[in-house]
């Protein structure tokens, strides 16, 4: 599946273990999970069966504050979100390409540097959580 501005990585683990590994890697990289949304539970409450589908919101308060001060509308994208989802027994992590976000909001050189730093961190975290040691 290819969607412009979206990165999707296949996990070597099930949904629950991928979530746990991702959360641990987030903390190890100095970021934090701001919130999580379990769409499968919400779907079940509505009487709809949905495979595991969880959005994790990942934050770096200092970086986000600087970005929002310069590019106020980037607040729509913050905190950055990672979707951990399962389909047909496969688990995936999907997230916005931070470079795409920078371009979307017309980031200047300093904002591009901040977004690039976050992009490298988030991509590394997602790939570490999805890969065998």
Find out if CATH 3.30.310.70 is the number for domain 7-130: yes
Can you give the residue ranges of every domain in the chain? 7-130
Cα separation of 72 and 48, whole Å?
37
> Is 51:89 a contact under the CB 8 Å cutoff?
no
Cα separation of 16 and 128, whole Å?
15
3-state SS string over 3-14?
Answer: CCCEEEEEECCC
Cα separation of 46 and 33, whole Å?
26
The pTM assigned to this predicted structure is 0.92
User: What would the pLDDT profile of 64-97 be if each residue is shown by its tens digit?
Assistant: 999 999 999 999 999 999 999 999 999 999 999 9
């Amino acid at each position: 599946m290819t969607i412009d501005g979206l990165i999707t990585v296949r996990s070597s683990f099930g949904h629950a273990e991928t979530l746990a590994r991702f959360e641990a890697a987030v903390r190890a990289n100095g970021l934090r999970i701001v919130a999580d949304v379990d769409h499968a539970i919400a779907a079940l409450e509505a009487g709809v069966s949905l495979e595991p589908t969880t959005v994790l919101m990942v934050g770096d308060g200092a970086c986000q504050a600087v970005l929002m001060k310069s590019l106020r509308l980037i607040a729509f994208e913050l905190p950055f979100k990672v979707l951990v989802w399962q389909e047909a027994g496969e688990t995936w992590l999907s997230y916005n390409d931070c470079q795409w976000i920078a371009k979307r909001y017309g980031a200047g050189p300093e904002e591009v540097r901040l977004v690039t730093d976050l992009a490298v961190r988030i991509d590394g975290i997602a790939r570490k959580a999805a890969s065998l040691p």
